[in-house]
Amino acid sequence: MAVFCRNCGKSLADDARFCSGCGGQMQPPVAPPPYYPTTTVTRLVRPRMGRMIAGVCQGLSNAYAWDVVWVRVITVLLTVFGGGSGLLAYVIFWIVMPEEPLIFPPGMPPGVPPPPPYQPPSQ
Ligand SMILES: [Zn+2]
């Protein structure tokens, strides 16, 4: 990915700090905002909460703000009356949609409970 000078529009290397054309200082790249899966789900993922089978219908309804009940009804109707196309689509989505990443509270490694408070031995 090339960066471009904001003054003269010259294409420069990614790690260039000064423009070789006009000598202007390059702006450091702006870091993308952190990804919080719990607040706004924009990616197509299979959520871990609210799923019935694999979370495909719940993930689609989360991503596009659809009612999950209608997504499930349409999937079942397509499976029964659409020659199994609903089931086929469900299996394809199941394969291609990643599972929602696990979320842990900050500073706590997964699977390790906090140590119990120290109990002095009774006399
Ligand atoms: Zn320049």
CA of 34 to the centre of ligand 1 (A): 30
Tell me the per-residue pLDDT of 55-79, one tens digit each, with 9 for 90 and over: 899 988 988 888 999 999 999 999 9
What's at 9, amino acid-wise?
Answer: G
In the structure, ligand 1 is a single-atom ion and the residues with CB under 5 Å from it are: 5, 7-8, 10, 19, 21-22, 24
E strands, 5-90, are 11-12
How far is the centre of ligand 1, averaged over its atoms, from the C-alpha of 32 (Å)? Answer: 24
What is the amino acid identity at position 17?
Answer: R
pLDDT given at position 101 = 80
35 vs 21: CA distance, rounded Å = 36
Q: What pLDDT, on a 0 to 100 scale, did the predictor assign at position 46? A: 87
pLDDT at 41: 47
* Rounded distance from Cα 1 to ligand 1 centre (Å): 17
- Ligand 1 centre to CA of 6 (Å) is 7
Q: Which of 33-37, 51-55, 85-89, 115-119 holds the top average pLDDT?
A: 85-89
CA nearest neighbour of 56 among 80, 88, 81, 104: 88
Supply the pTM of this predicted model: 0.48
